[in-house]
């Protein structure tokens, strides 16, 4: 039986903190305890936890569509609150990785697939923001590469009212298990 990995997607200050430039706000803040509990259980079970974080340069073309956010090395790109504390406590653990990503899909132009394959991961669990953008497209990225996908409904959030719609789309299109 293959290993599993929890992908914590885009839980940055810019996406979650009240002062973030593209914040989900309270919806994102409220999922932090669920994500921390998942991360702890994955580590305890010998599985992987991978922080997948938007990483943009100051002149990134994304800023033609979105406000400036997650600029590499900025406060906005840092993990939000208690997740940052968790990461600092676990960052040296062999089962914890950090993958910067230039696009919505955490697999696109990153080494995420190589990391997962090298560790024998067969199932990818999704948590973080935004359900209808980066979470959804990362689910597609995993599915397209042959990974089984699981979306954790209470560990995901978005600023739109389409949270449940996109979870349902993941289930129908990518055969994602919803928990």
- Give how many domains the chain has, as a whole number: 1
pLDDT number for residue 2:
79
Average pLDDT across the chain, whole number: 96
Tell me the Ramachandran region of residue 82: left when phi exceeds 0, alpha when psi lies from -120 to 50, beta otherwise.
alpha
Q: Rounded to an integer, what distance in angstroms lies between the CA atom of residue 114 and that of residue 48?
A: 13
Closest by CA to 14, choosing from 84, 64, 61, 93, is: 84
CATH number of the domain where residue 15 is located: 3.40.50.850
Does residue 70 contact residue 76 with C-beta atoms inside 8 Å?
yes
126 bridge partner residues: 7, 151
Non-local (6+) Cβ contacts of 24 within 8 A are 15, 16, 129, 130, 157, 158, 159
In percent, the amount of the chain with pLDDT more than 90 equals: 96
Q: Rounded to an integer, what distance in angstroms lies between the CA atom of residue 131 and that of residue 104?
A: 11
> How many CB atoms sit inside 10 A of residue 3's CB?
16
Question: Whole-prediction pTM value?
Answer: 0.96
pLDDT number for residue 118:
96
pLDDT tens-digit map of 80-113: 999 999 999 999 998 999 999 999 999 999 999 9
> C-alpha distances in angstroms, 170 versus 12, 76, 105?
23, 28, 14
Q: Rounded to an integer, what distance in angstroms lies between the CA atom of residue 9 and that of residue 22?
A: 15
Q: Looking at the predicted structure, is the pLDDT value of residue 116 above 80?
A: yes
pLDDT tens-digit map of 60-78: 998 999 999 999 999 999 9
- The domain containing residue 46 runs over which residues? 3-178
Q: Looking at the predicted structure, is the pLDDT value of residue 1 above 80?
A: no
């Amino acid at each position: 039986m293959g290993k599993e990995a929890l992908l914590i997607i885009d839980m940055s200050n810019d996406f979650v903190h009240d002062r973030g430039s593209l914040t989900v706000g309270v919806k994102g803040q409220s999922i932090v305890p669920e994500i921390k509990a998942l991360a702890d259980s994955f580590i305890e079970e010998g599985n992987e936890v991978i922080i997948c974080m938007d990483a943009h340069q100051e002149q990134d073309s994304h800023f033609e569509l979105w406000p400036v956010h997650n600029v590499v090395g900025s406060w906005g790109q840092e993990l939000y609150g208690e997740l940052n504390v968790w990461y600092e406590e676990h960052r040296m653990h062999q089962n914890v990785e950090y993958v910067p990503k230039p696009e919505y899909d955490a697999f696109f132009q990153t080494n995420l697939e190589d990391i997962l394959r090298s560790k024998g991961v067969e199932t990818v669990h999704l948590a973080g923001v935004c359900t209808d953008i980066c979470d959804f497209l990362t689910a597609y990225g995993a599915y397209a590469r042959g990974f089984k996908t699981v979306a954790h409904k209470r560990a995901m959030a978005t600023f739109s009212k389409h949270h449940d719609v996109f979870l349902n789309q993941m289930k129908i299109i990518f055969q994602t298990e919803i928990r």
